[in-house]
Amino acid sequence: MNQKLNVTSLSKQVYDHLLEQMNNGAFLPGSTINISKFSEQLGVSKTPLRDALIHLELEGFVTILPRRGVRVNVLTLQDVKNAYELIGCLEATVVMQCFELITADHITKLEELNAKMLEMIKTDNFEYYFKTNIAFHNTFMDLSDNELIKKTILPVKQRLYEFPSKVYISEWEKGNCGEHQQFIDCLKDKDPKGAASVLKNIHWSYTVQEDYILKFHAMREEMIDQEQASRERS
C-alpha cells in the first residue's frame, strides 16, 4: 500500500491499483476509502485519484460521497441479475456478428482452454481458473471491432469476479465447462444461432443459474462478514 507509483498515466495506474485492492479484499464491499490517506500512501496527488474514482463510480464499483469519502459498493443479487442479462445479450450479439471470423484455430484454442479449466477444478486452482475463463470468452469477443461492447462488458465481468480465489463452487464451474463444450459443438456444427443461444439462454441465464448464484452470493457475503469481523478485532 505504501509503494510509490512512478508512471506517466497516473489516473490509469491508480484505477488499476484500486481494482486490484478491491479484488484481493484490501477494500471490502461496504467499506470507505479515505481519499487524503490513500493519496498519501500512494504518493500521488488527489487529482489522479479522483479521476480514477470517478471512472470506478461510472462502472458501478464505488459511490463518491461528498465530504465523506468513497464507499465500495456491495454487489447485490439484482446487480448480478442485471449483469447476466447484459453479458448474455452482448456475447450472443458478438457471436452472431463475428461467426464467420471464427476459425478452426479459434475452436482448438477454446477446447484447450476449456480442458485447462477442468484440470484446474480438479486441483482447486480457482485463481487461474477464473483467468482462464476470461481468456475463453475473450477468444471470440476479441474478434469484434465494436469497442463499445468490449469496454462495456469488461467492468461488468470484473464486478462479478470479485474475490475469485476465495469463493467458488466446483460443481458450478464443472457445469460451466459443460456449457462451454455445448458452445464449442455449435461452432463445429456451423450453428451461429445455437452458439448464441447457449450463451444467452443457458450460460448467462440468471434463471438457469439461479440456484448456484444464490449459493455463491451467500458464501461471498459470509466471507466478507468474517473478514470484516476479523479486521475489527485486530
Statement: residue 8 has pLDDT above 60: no
Which amino acid is present at 28? Answer: L
Between 2-6, 57-61, 186-190, 215-219, the lowest mean confidence (pLDDT) is in: 2-6
Domain range annotation of the chain: 10-74, 77-228
Task: Identify the helix (H) or strand (E) that includes residue 150.
Answer: helix 147-160
User: Which has the closest alpha carbon to 175: 93, 111, 118?
Assistant: 118
The model carries a pTM of: 0.88
Q: Indicate the DSSP class of residue 73.
A: P
Instruction: Tell me the β-bridge partners of 118.
Output: none
pLDDT in tens, 103-138: 999 999 999 999 999 999 999 888 789 889 999 999
Task: Compute how many other C-beta atoms are within 10 angstroms of the C-beta atom of residue 49.
Answer: 23
Q: Report how far residue 165's alpha carbon sits from residue 222's, in angstroms, rounded to the nearest whole number.
A: 15
Which pLDDT belongs to residue 110? 99
Exposed, middle or buried, 43 (CB in 10 Å: 0-12/13-18/19+)? exposed
Which pLDDT belongs to residue 66? 85
Architecture of domain 10-74: Orthogonal Bundle (1.10)
Architecture of domain 77-228: Up-down Bundle (1.20)
Q: Report how far residue 123's alpha carbon sits from residue 223's, in angstroms, rounded to the nearest whole number.
A: 21
Q: Report how far residue 79's alpha carbon sits from residue 69's, in angstroms, rounded to the nearest whole number.
A: 23
Secondary structure of residue 91 in the 3-state scheme: helix
Cβ pair 23, 75 in contact under 8 A: no
Exposed, middle or buried, 137 (CB in 10 Å: 0-12/13-18/19+)? buried
